[in-house]
Chains A and B, each alone.
Chain A
Amino acid sequence: DTGVSQDPRHKITKRGQNVTFRCDPISEHNRLYWYRQTLGQGPEFLTYFQNEAQLEKSRLLSDRFSAERPKGSFSTLEIQRTEQGDSAMYLCASSSREVVDRDEQFFGPGTRLTVL
C-alpha cells in the first residue's frame, strides 16, 4: 500500500491553457474523490466516483472542468481554458467499502496549480 499519489505535484500555466492532473488511489479502494483547497480554507468537494461511475458533481464544477475514471482505477481531472481563479491545491482522496460509512478518506499530497 503506497497511498494515494498525484501527478504532477506542481503545475504553472498561463491563463487560457488546458491542464490535466492524475490521481492514483489506493489499489483496493473503489471510491475516489476530487477536492479543491485554497489558502486558509478547508477542502471543497468537486466530484466523486464509485468505480468508473461519476456519481456526484459539485456546482463548483463548471463546464470547464471534467473528470474521468475510465477503468475504475486512476482518475484524471482536466481544466480547460484556465483562469486565475483556478489557482488552488487540487486534492484527490480515496476510500474503501469498509470505511466509507465513517467518512474516512485517504488523501493524496495534492497538485498545486498556479495560473499566471
Chain B
Amino acid sequence: GQSLEQPSEVTAVEGAIVQINCTYQTSGFYGLSWYQQHDGGAPTFLSYNALDGLEETGRFSSFLSRSDSYGYLLLQELQMKDSASYFCAVRNSGAGSYQLTFGKGTKLSVIP
C-alpha cells in the first residue's frame, strides 16, 4: 500500500518562504502531486512531479527526489490567502489505476 507523512501544522510570516515536506512509501511510483484546500473549500490541484528536480509555478514550487522518496512544496512571498491545508498525494501502484492516496495534510497559518 501507500503511506505519506507530512507535518501537521506550519506557521509562517507574511512575505516569508515556507517549505512543506512529504515523505512517501509506495510499492510503485508514478509521481507526487500537491493540492491546496481552504477551510470549507474543495481541494485544488497545485503541482505534479514525476521526475527528480524542481517544478516552478509562480510563487509555488515543488521538488521531488525519487531516490529519497521525498518531496516538498515551497511557497514564496507568502500571502494571508495562502493560509490553507496542503496535501501531498501519490497514485496507487496498480496498472491502469488512478486512485490517489493523500497525506493527512499540513495546515499552514500565515501570520502578519
- List residues of chain A with CB under 8 Å of any chain B CB: 4, 31, 33, 40-45, 48, 55-56, 58, 91, 93, 95, 100-110
Contact = CB atoms under 8 A, between A and B. Distances in A.
Contacts of B45: 103-106
Nearest to B34: A103
A86 B100 CA distance: 20
Nearest to A104: B45
Contact of B99 (A48, A91, A109): A48
B102 interface: yes
A45 B43 CA distance: 13
Interface residues of B, number: 24
Given A41-B104, A42-B87, A42-B103, A107 B42 contact: yes
A104 B48 contact: yes
Interface of B: 30-31, 33, 41-45, 48, 50, 87, 89, 91-92, 96-105
Contacts of A4: 42
Contacts of A40: 104-105
B35 to A, nearest CB: 8
Contacts of B89: 42, 103
Given A102-B33, A102-B50, A109-B42, A33 B102 contact: no
A111 to B, nearest CB: 11
A41 to B, nearest CB: 6
A93 B103 CA distance: 17
Nearest to A40: B104
Contact of A43 (B41, B44, B102): B102
A83 B73 CA distance: 37
Contacts of B97: 56
A65 B41 CA distance: 24
A52 to B, nearest CB: 16
Contacts of A109: 41-42
